[in-house]
Amino acid sequence: MIEAEVGEVLRKRGLTLAVAESCTGGLLSSLITDVPGSSDYFRGGVVAYSNAVKERVLGVPREILETVGAVSPECARAMAEGVRRLLSADLALATTGIAGPTGGTPTKPVGLVYIALAHPGGVEVREHRFVGSRRGNKCSAAHGALELLLDFLKSC
């Protein structure tokens, strides 16, 4: 299980993690906390499903939400930075996207997800285009976030 591997590395390195979730709706936090002892490294998370919560709680600038929208690399970046700062974590993940089956547009189709990782050296953002059911897209996004984090942890 990737969540156990991530937890082991975080614990060994003494790093803390926070998450900001939109399209995953708490699933990422659930996977992380399925690991016994995750309280050693997991600070907590914010499910910021509405733009108002993204703006008020996470500090996503209104201009981002109004110009490029919530499903954008800019929003994912701001969400990750915001929750990292809010929960005083070493690392932070953020997910934002369109799980489906409705809500997609020609430029932002169902399955489009942005995942961001904020760390002391900056922020990395990955774009994904998942193809599946709503639940499948949420699971793919949550696992994609853990993969991004594990890739980062293995590279440094």
pLDDT digits (tens, 9 = 90+) for 97-114: 999 999 999 999 999 999
pTM score of the predicted model:
0.98
Domains annotated for the chain, with CATH where assigned, are 2-155 (3.90.950.20)
Cβ atoms of 3 and 149 within 8 Å: the answer is no
- If pLDDT is split at 50, 70 and 90, which confidence band does 68 have? very high
pLDDT at res. 156: 86
pLDDT at res. 39: 98
Mean pLDDT of the chain: 98
pLDDT tens-digit readout, 19-52: 999 999 999 999 999 999 999 999 999 999 999 9
Cβ atoms of 44 and 87 within 8 Å: the answer is yes
Segment 65-82 mean pLDDT: 98
